[in-house]
Homo-oligomer: A and B are copies of this chain.
C-alpha cells in the first residue's frame, strides 16, 4: 500500500451513536490486466464510523490512484475494503462495485467486513 495516496480522516463527531455514512463514487476507472483496456464502474462505500470518518478529498485521490492500475474486479473490491477498513477502523463497512458491460456481460462485487465464512 506504500505507493497509494494517503487516506485522511477526521474525528467522528458523534462516536456514541451508530450511524451510517454512504459514499458513492460513480467515476471509477481502472485497467483490465488481461486486455489492457480501461474498466469503468461505480464504487459505493457504506460504513458505521468508530473514532474516524473518511475525508472525501483524500478518498478521491485514493480512488484516482486506480486509474492506471491493472486489477481484476474481485481483487479490486476486496482491496478497497481492506484499505479503507484498515485506515478508518469502522464498526462496519461494505463495498459495492458495479462495472459496465463487457462482451454483453455485467459484473457487480459486494464485500463487507462482518461476513463470516460459510453459506450466506
- Residues in A lying within 8 Å of B, measured CB to CB: 10, 12-14, 16-27, 29, 37-38, 40, 48-49, 53, 56-57, 59-60, 64, 67, 72-75, 77-78, 91-92, 100-112, 114-120
Contact = CB atoms under 8 A, between A and B. Distances in A.
Contacts of A92: 119-120
Contacts of A22: 107-110
Contact of A120 (B14, B20, B100): B20
Contacts of A112: 19
A27 B40 contact: yes
Contacts of A53: 74
13 contacts: A13-B74, A16-B117, A20-B110, A22-B107, A24-B107, A37-B64, A37-B103, A38-B64, A48-B119, A59-B105, A60-B105, A67-B67, A101-B104
User: Of A19, A29, A73, A92, which is in contact with the most chain B CB atoms at under 10 Å from its CB?
Assistant: A19
